[in-house]
Every structure is written in C-alpha cells, then in structure tokens.
Amino acid sequence: MSVSLKIRESIEQSSWIRKMFEEGARLKAEFGADNVYDFSLGNPDIEPPVEFFNVFKKMSNSTQKGVHGYMPNAGFMDVRNSIAKKVEKEHKLKIDGNSILMTCGAAGGMNVVLKTILDPGDEIIIIKPFFAEYGFYISNHQGVPVFADSNKDFSINIDFIEKAVTPKTKGIIVNSPNNPSGKIYKEDEIDALCNLLKKKSGNGRNIFLISDEPYREIVYDNKTVPPILSKYTNAVIINSFSKSLSLPGERIGYIAVNPQNEEYNLLLGGLNLSNRILGFVNAPALMQRIVAELNDAAANIDIYKKRRDIFMKGLKDAGYEFNEPEGAFYLFCKAPGGDDVKFVRHLQKYNILVVPGVGFGGPGYFRIAYCISEDVIERSMPKFKEALSTYS
C-alpha cells in the first residue's frame, strides 16, 4: 500500500468534510450553484479592510534590498514588536517582540507549539465541541488527545476537565470564541481553569494552557474575550489574521508566550527550532510586514452579526433549537431526533449542506457556517423549514 496506515485512518476520520465538499460539487453541477445552499465551510467571504490594500500596494512597490530574503525563524523583529503591542493590549500583560514568533497561520502555530512541548504519549486535553483538526495536529507529534465534555450551553465544566487530567497531561487547548459553537468562555471560567492547572502543575511538571484565538475579534453584542496570557505563566497564545482581516489564504499568524514562564528561553528556543524543522522556516515575509501596520484594522464583523441574526430568527421560527453564538461565524444546532448524520443527509435532499457535529466531538448537533451572503441565507430559510417539517 502506497499510503501510510496512519494517513488512511486520518482520511476516514476527516471524511465528513470531504463528503460535504464532494456532495456540494455534485449538487451544484446538477441543480446550479444558485440553487444549492452550502454552509459547510468556514471560509470568510468578507473582503479585507481597505487599509490592507493600501499597505499591500505600498509594500509591493518597494524595491528595498533584502526584504524578500530569509530572516530569523521567529520573524522580523520590528514586526514582532508591533504584534507585541496588540497582544499586550488584549492580554493585559507587559510583553515585547522577544515573546512573539510569527507563524504560517494559526494551524502552523499550533503544530509548532505541539512539536515543541510533546513527547510520545503525552496527552493534550480538548474541550468538546472542538475544531476538528486538533486531533490530527496532536497525532502529528505523537501526542494523545483526551476529550472533556463541556456544559449543555458549551461553557467550561471544570469538574470534567479535572477528571481528564492524568500524569501524562501536557496541556489543554481552549478555543474562544469557539468553532463550532460560537461560545465565548467567560473570565470566571478561565480563572477557574488557570487555578486548576496551577494546582495540577508543580514538582517539575508544567501543564500548558494553549489558547487558539483566530476568532478573538469576531464577537457580538458588546461581549469581550477575556485575557489569558496574564493569568497563567504557562499560557501560550496562538492567533492569526485569517478571520480578523479576512486573509485565510495568506497564512500569517503568530505565537505569544508569557515572558514570566519559568523556562522562557528554553521554550522560545524550542518554538524557533520547531518552526524551522517542520518546514515552515519562517512566516511569509511580505505578509509579516503588512500585518505589522494593521493592528487597528479589522474586517467588518457587523456583516457577520447581521447574518447570524437572520439565521437565528429564521431557524427559531422554523422550530430549530440552538444556543445563541456569541462570536465566530457558526451556529451549532440540535439535530431533531438526536441523529446528526441522518438529519444532515435529510437536509441534502433540500440542497442544504451543513456538517454533522460528530466531526467536532458534538454528536446530536450540526454546524452551520454563516460566512455566506445574506441572499443565500434568506433563500435557504424556507428549505430549512420544509426539511424539518418532513423529517421523521
């Protein structure tokens, strides 16, 4: 067999995303793209802010020597200093560019962190529901994912997390606002989690709190995402500009570590090495220079809020059940009857494409991505209603 057993197993585990893509292509070919309602992928459709294009034009016209060459694996120092100002403001902690490492997006950043901290068999706790790729990232570096249930409203359940901690626990991943639920973990939840990790650490054992934050700036109704880096010395922040600036294809992000970490220099040395030997080498040079000038820029999230509100009203009127998402651009709806796979297949009969919750560790739910035009959302509402009324 030409493909490794591990990859073959991973293909099967990730089959739902692939199936949705293939089914979408088939339906669009049969019925026309305008008659298919594809809410399966979290691909931001809002254009980057005008500030991005202005800086891009300026940078692309530059003929300054050396700007497209290699740089330190952690990135340009002036860029890292700029990002540090952003992190300092968000996380209420004095920090400079030495604590920042520029990465190839948040996915690259997550792999760099896990490569740095994991020995074979080490465990990483993941709170359900979760971004489907986390398990693969952990497996990439010979770690073991351990899953902890959340509460019914998708908030953190400290008791479940404490039960998941073992002598092999090396870290826990939090993702807030959450993909797929849109939940923002409240500050008292984060405080309780940090206190638990402090209690479980010590005697030469450090448990990392890894905060995956690509949706930090996509929040609604005046809600805020609490700081994490200042609350725990073994915290590591991973972020990207894929969602906040609508630049997913540019693969630019960063890692931030707490400068008070007991093994600060060793941790940074490991992150730098991992960034290089994983093959990233460094984050894209041009994008580094561009985002360094865009700390105060953001995509128009009011558009996402409008879409969320259209969806919530339409689905509620149709009889669907869900918790109101507080951020990101996803709705995680209860599947009628509790069988998410069956109901997702039923929705396909009405040319509606969503993803079953089982792929996110949330069986009994399905995920809707509303980074889709208002017109498509509004035209889909009668179809959602008809699908529910005909389901048994």
pLDDT, tens digit, for every residue of 156-176?
999 999 999 999 999 999 999
Q: What is the pLDDT of residues 181-199, one digit of tens each?
A: 999 999 999 999 999 999 9
The stretch 73-83 carries a mean pLDDT of 97
Measured CA to CA, the distance from residue 76 to residue 67 in angstroms comes to 10
pLDDT above 90: residue 329: yes
Tell me which H or E stretch contains 45.
none
Q: Which residues contact 309 (CB under 8 A, 6 or more apart)?
A: none
pLDDT for position 15? 62
pLDDT for position 184? 98
Look-up of token digits 């690509």: 214
Give the sheet arrangement for strand 123-127, strand by strand.
100-103, 253-257, 235-240, 208-212, 169-175, 123-127, 144-148
Contact 282, 275 (CB under 8 A): yes
pLDDT for position 1? 65
pLDDT band at 10 (very low <50, low <70, confident <90, very high): confident
Quick one: what percent of the chain has pLDDT higher than 90?
Answer: 86
pLDDT for position 7? 84
Tokens read off for 315 = 């689905």
pLDDT for position 41? 87
Look-up of token digits 């297949």: 345
DSSP state of 107: H
CA atoms within 13 A on the CB side of 211: 29
Mean pLDDT of all residues belonging to the chain: 94
Q: Distance of alpha carbon 186 from its chain centroid, rounded?
A: 17
How far from 231 is each of 162, 185, 219, CA to CA, in Å? Answer: 18, 14, 21
The stretch 314-319 carries a mean pLDDT of 97
pLDDT for position 253? 98
Q: What is the pLDDT of residues 243-267, one digit of tens each?
A: 999 999 999 999 999 999 999 999 9
Measured CA to CA, the distance from residue 259 to residue 27 in angstroms comes to 52
> Which range (69-73, 223-227, 381-385) has the least confidence?
69-73
Tokens read off for 37 = 């309602």
Q: What is the pLDDT of residues 49-77, one digit of tens each?
A: 999 999 999 998 888 888 888 999 999 99
Tell me which H or E stretch contains 364.
none
Higher-pLDDT residue of 19 and 101 is 101
Tokens read off for 305 = 């809020």
pLDDT for position 25? 80
Look-up of token digits 């398990």: 135
Tell me which H or E stretch contains 334.
strand 330-334
pLDDT band at 97 (very low <50, low <70, confident <90, very high): very high
Tokens read off for 33 = 């793209």
pLDDT for position 354? 96
Look-up of token digits 């990002």: 83
